[in-house]
Structures are given as structure tokens and as C-alpha cells.
Chains A and B, each alone.
Chain A
Amino acid sequence: MPNREWPRSMATLREDAMTEKTDAPRPSRRRFLTGAAGLVAAGAAGAARADEKNLPPNIAPWSKTLGDGVAVRPYGQPSKFEKDVIRRDVQWLTASRESSVSFTPLHELDGIITPNGLCFERHHGGIAEVDPHDYRLMIHGLVDKPLIFTLEDLKRLPRVNRIYFLECAANSGMEWRGAQLNGCQYTHGMIHSVMYTGVPLKLLLEQAGVKPNGKWLLVEGGDASGLDRSLPLDKALDDCLVAYRMNGEMLRPEQGYPVRLVVPGWQGNIWIKWLRRIEVGDEPWYTREETSKYTDLMPNGKARKFTFVMDAKSVITSPSPQAPIRNKGFLVISGLAWSGRGKVARVDVSLDGGRNWRTAKIDGPVLDKSLVRFYAEIEWNGEPLLLQSRAMDETGYVQPTKDELRAIRGVNSIYHNNGIQTWSVKANGEVENVEVG
């Protein structure tokens, strides 16, 4: 049987391993098996999967017969050949899928914009299906005039367009004790980046009139978890948006349709989806989500609270475990970098596990609290690599190594793991998530 898929699927390998009556550790057998396929011949990229009938000098059927006309696909979908470019979840992570997370397939994407259907999901009570006619946003508390806005009201107000990344504070949280998940979709996929259209939160608060003793907001979702968080007023007045569009179209249900809060640079948990209520108060509420969760437990048993900002971070998305190298020769290393403190200033790439660094090329817009795309071009001829990337932001913050983080925070803080990721590249092009020391 021709080896069209490379490497062999994990499921097949698992079956092989399970039928094997031996005490030998499975991983070594898996390594052996995955190594069996490997690199394609030089200069024949993609050839292994092609059908001769469609290649020159032959004429492919799509060149001879008519395809679908307009409006056959009234809402366009990706090509059927891209069906594997999907969000995936890790079922053992949580008790139920209604309170779980799915991950963005970062290894399949380029540029800085995440397609709407691929933006990672994190729900606490499933996806609320809010009827836009019955949508209401209430603003009350320490205000002069408590107000209710309909969706139509919000759409009538002046709006702005901003591209921001949204990263879950628990992104890479499974990696504190060591390399665990084999794929950047799982290690770093709790992030997405889209252009939001929305009303500045400041403008809405001005309509209600915040009283002088107003210092904090309670922001609350309309889903079955009623997720509520305390947001400092200063941040609300700075750059927060009440958004109803992503990448031009209305928000997707799983992203909070019809209205979500945008809190640039801050942990995703506070970007309240299905936003139903904003209460102005004079102190924080200390809700479950900002005490029992989203606090960072330190080695001495005390925990940091209100760790809102997402520190500078980066990851090489290709090559990576789900995107192995298939050709020797010229290779573009590609990745993403971001910082919740502002703009990314620079990204460095290392091929030897952080011993030596070269500065990568950033291509595309470099925006405040947004993803940037970086590339590093190398010649690769089968030598083992320990690939790393290191982001720096405009405040001078340099992405630390995982060990530097652990030295301060231990391994129990769950959140805010922005340590440098290492991918081990094997001679056959296979890539693995590893820890280095």
C-alpha cells in the first residue's frame, strides 16, 4: 500500500502498540514506526499524493467539465480537501464538553488573522444561542442613568475596527511539569486573532455616566454559567470594546454572538461572551472565576490575583509536531508572536535549543496587542534541530525559558505559561515537543 499519509496516523500506531505483547515502552516503538515513512525525494514536493491522470501532459477533469455555479454555496466553506483543518479538543482535560476548550489549528494557518470558524472555543456552560431581537445589555450600578441597549442600539453608535489577539490564561498550562502534548495546536492553540468591530466601552459608560466613586466594573455573560469578572475602570476606559463583529461578519455563536467584550492584551476569561450586564462598583467582586480559578498558585502556597496581562510569547507553528518537515533543502520556519503589553518589537529563532539566536523576519502588520507572523529561512539537510523562538515586546520584556519561569513560579500556577517552546526535529523530518536543560 502506498504510503500517502505521512507520518502514519496516531490511531494506527496505537493499535500496533496494543497488539504487541511486550513490556518494551510504547514510545520507542512509535518512534520507530513513525520514522519508517519520511522525507520525499528532492524536488518532488507533494508528488507522493498526486494522481498521474491529473498531471501534465494529461488534462484533469476539473479542466473539462463545469463546476458548481454561483449560489450553490451561499455561505462558502473551505475546500473539501481542507477538511482536516479543524479545532480539536483534549477530552481528558475537563469533566464535560460544555465546560471545555477546543484548540485553534495554528499549524495549518499563516498570516495573523484566524478564520472565524477556527477560533478556539472555551465555554463554561456551553454555547448560548441568543436571539438578537431579545438581546439586551444592561449598564447600572454607580452610574447617573442606568441604561439598557438593544443590539440595534449598539449598531447605531460610532464604532471602531481593531485587530487583537485573545489568549486563554491557561494556554500552555498543561506544559508546566514538562513536555506533554505533541502539537502546537494543543500546546499553544488557545489563542486567536481577528478584527473586531465594536463600540468603545468608554463611550457606552459615558452614556450612563460613571459616578466619581466608580472604580471597578462587574462584567457578566448571558450564558448558563453567567460568567462574571471584575474589570478595573481604567482598563475599561482605555481600550476595551463592546464588539459585535469579527472579521467583518457578526460574531460566531461560540464567540459570544451577538455581543462580547474585548479586553486587549488581557487573559481571555475576562473577554465576556454573550455580554448581558455591566455593573459599576467601587471595589472588585472576587468572583469564583477570579479566585478559585485564574489565580496563580506560587510555590509558597500563596497565589497571585488579578494577573490580567498576557506576557510576550511566541511559538513556531511550522515545522511542529503536526507539521513535520517533508523536504530537504530550503525551509521557511514560520511562527507567531504576541504581547499583551503592546507591540512585538522583535522575534529571535534558535536552531540549537537556545544557545545561539538569529533575528527572524516579521512580515505583515505589527499592531498593538496583536499577533505578528515571523519567518526564518534556513537550509536543512537532515541534521537534528532544537527549534525555539523568543519574542520581545516594546516594553523590553523578553520571553523567558520555561525553567526561568519555574524558578520563580514553581509548577502549580496553571496559568500564564509563556515559556520558550522547544521542538526537536529528527533526521526524518519528524518533530516532537521536548524539554531541554
Chain B
Amino acid sequence: MSKWASLVAGCALLLAAPAFAQSAKPRNYGIGTPATPQQIAGWDIDVRPDGEGLPPGKGSVKDGEKLFLERCAACHGEFGESAGRWPQLAQGKGTLATNDPVKTVGSYFPYASSVFDYVRRAMPFGDAQSLTNDELYAVVAFVLNLNDIVDDKFVLSKETWNQVKMPNADGFYNDDRETAEKAFWNKNPCMKDCRAPVKITGHASVIDVTPDDKTARKGGVE
């Protein structure tokens, strides 16, 4: 390398230096304390589709049925059909492409972990994290059984986890808006005579579901 060339290379390196300095070694502020394995174990309750995170224990459909009637049926119905407006847990197969899709564990959830992780952290509603691990396995086994995903004799555990096959596992695909809706990117949208004269085709007042509230219509453009 000639003297000039190496000088030029050196300058380039100097110019680039600040950027390198930023990404090379992030500053350690010495703030925060190490989390111990015991601390982590108490809070780390998530479960993945592959079963990572599953706790020790097991539960049968039979035990789950009893628990479900005691702890879950008041909201979800004895057969997971839902009471009131609480989520329906069973039925709904074959409805996703219809005008009235019913999304349940059987018809929609892609993974058993999506149920297990949720029940473990949030159910029963208002008494979260009150189920033992065995109870948790049992309740989830029963909900799967309600959806004909496992049979009446099934016992759910880490060992049997991979036997659970969810019907709608292939029902999802990654966000494709940037390609499927590419037409919405348009640098020069129409400004004049963009469509035929417009007609009103629907009125919110006809649906008539806006909450009644004496105070809701106070304002005005003054």
C-alpha cells in the first residue's frame, strides 16, 4: 500500500470511529441487581408451544371435569358454551370462514400452550394463579376434551404434551399487509371527481346501540 493510500484509509477509519464506538461496548451503569434462580422460578410461568416452561405435574380429563364445574362453568358454561358474554371455549368448528365465526379453543387456538399459559396466569378470573400444577393440567385437559381434541381417558403432562394436536394449528400466517394491501400505497391519491355521487347506505342511528348518557351530547362547535 502506498503512503497516500494508507493515509486515506486511516482517515476513513477515523471518520467511522464514533459509530463503532457506540455499538461495540454498551455502557454498564452498575444499576440493577442479579436475579437469583429462585426469584426467576417464582415469576417465570410462561409456556411455549414446544412445551418449554411446562411445570412438573399431571392432570386427567376426569379430574378436570370436576374442577371445571366448580371453578370455570359459572362463566364458561358446563360444556364450554359460555354464560352471558364470557368467552365460549368449545364448538365452532367449521365456522371461521362463515358470516358468524365462533372462535374457541377447538376452532381457533393454534396451540395447547396458548390455553395453558393463559389459564396458568389469569384463570379463574379474579383468582389468578390459585390452581395447583396438577389442577392446571387437569382443567386444560378437560377443555381440550370438550373440543374432542383428547379422549376421556387422557392425562395431560409434560410427557403427553406432544400428543395434543390442535385443529387450527395451520390457521395463521404472518402479517402480509405490505404485499396484500400494496394498493394502499399511492403517492398521488385522487383529488377531483374521484367517484360517482355518494349515497348514504347505513345509519348508526338505525342500529341504535350508542350508550344512553345524559351528559354525552353536551358539546357543540361554537
User: A residues within 8 Å of B by Cβ?
Assistant: 5-7, 9-12, 14, 25-27, 30-31, 45-46, 83-84, 86, 88-92, 94-96, 98-99, 107-108, 124-125, 138-140, 145-149, 153, 156-158, 178-183, 185-186, 203, 206-208, 218, 220, 224-228, 276-277, 279, 281, 283, 285-289, 291-292, 295, 297, 299-309, 311, 318-319, 321-327, 331-332, 348, 352-358, 386, 390, 392, 395-400, 404, 408, 412, 424, 429, 432-437
Contacts and interface: CB of A to CB of B under 8 A. Distances in A.
Nearest to A89: B211
B19 interface: no
B217 A352 contact: no
B132 interface: no
A387 to B, nearest CB: 12
Interface string B164-180: 00000001111111001
B140 to A, nearest CB: 12
Interface residues of B, number: 91
Contacts of A302: 96, 171-173
Main secondary structure of the interface of B (DSSP, over half): loop
Contact of B217 (A98, A288, A322): A322
Nearest to A39: B220
A319 B186 contact: no
A140 B47 CA distance: 15
Q: Which of B26, B126, B220, B222 counts the most chain A CB atoms within 10 A?
A: B220
Contact of B189 (A124, A353, A392): A392
A207 B72 CA distance: 42
B97 interface: yes
B2 interface: no
A26 B208 CA distance: 9
A138 B39 contact: yes
Given A297-B96, A301-B96, A355-B193, A138 B210 contact: no
B77 to A, nearest CB: 12
Given A286-B111, A357-B194, A147 B33 contact: yes
Contacts of B32: 139, 147-149, 153, 207-208
Interface in B177-201: 177, 180-181, 183-187, 189-201
Interface stretch (B3-11, B56-64, B113-121, B145-153): B113-121
A286 B113 contact: yes
Nearest to A207: B32
Contacts of B177: 304, 307, 309, 311
B198 to A, nearest CB: 3
Given A147-B32, A354-B195, A183 B210 contact: yes
23 contacts: A5-B218, A9-B217, A27-B208, A157-B29, A178-B201, A183-B216, A225-B122, A285-B113, A287-B118, A303-B173, A304-B173, A306-B174, A318-B219, A322-B216, A325-B221, A326-B221, A352-B197, A357-B191, A392-B189, A397-B184, A408-B180, A408-B181, A432-B205
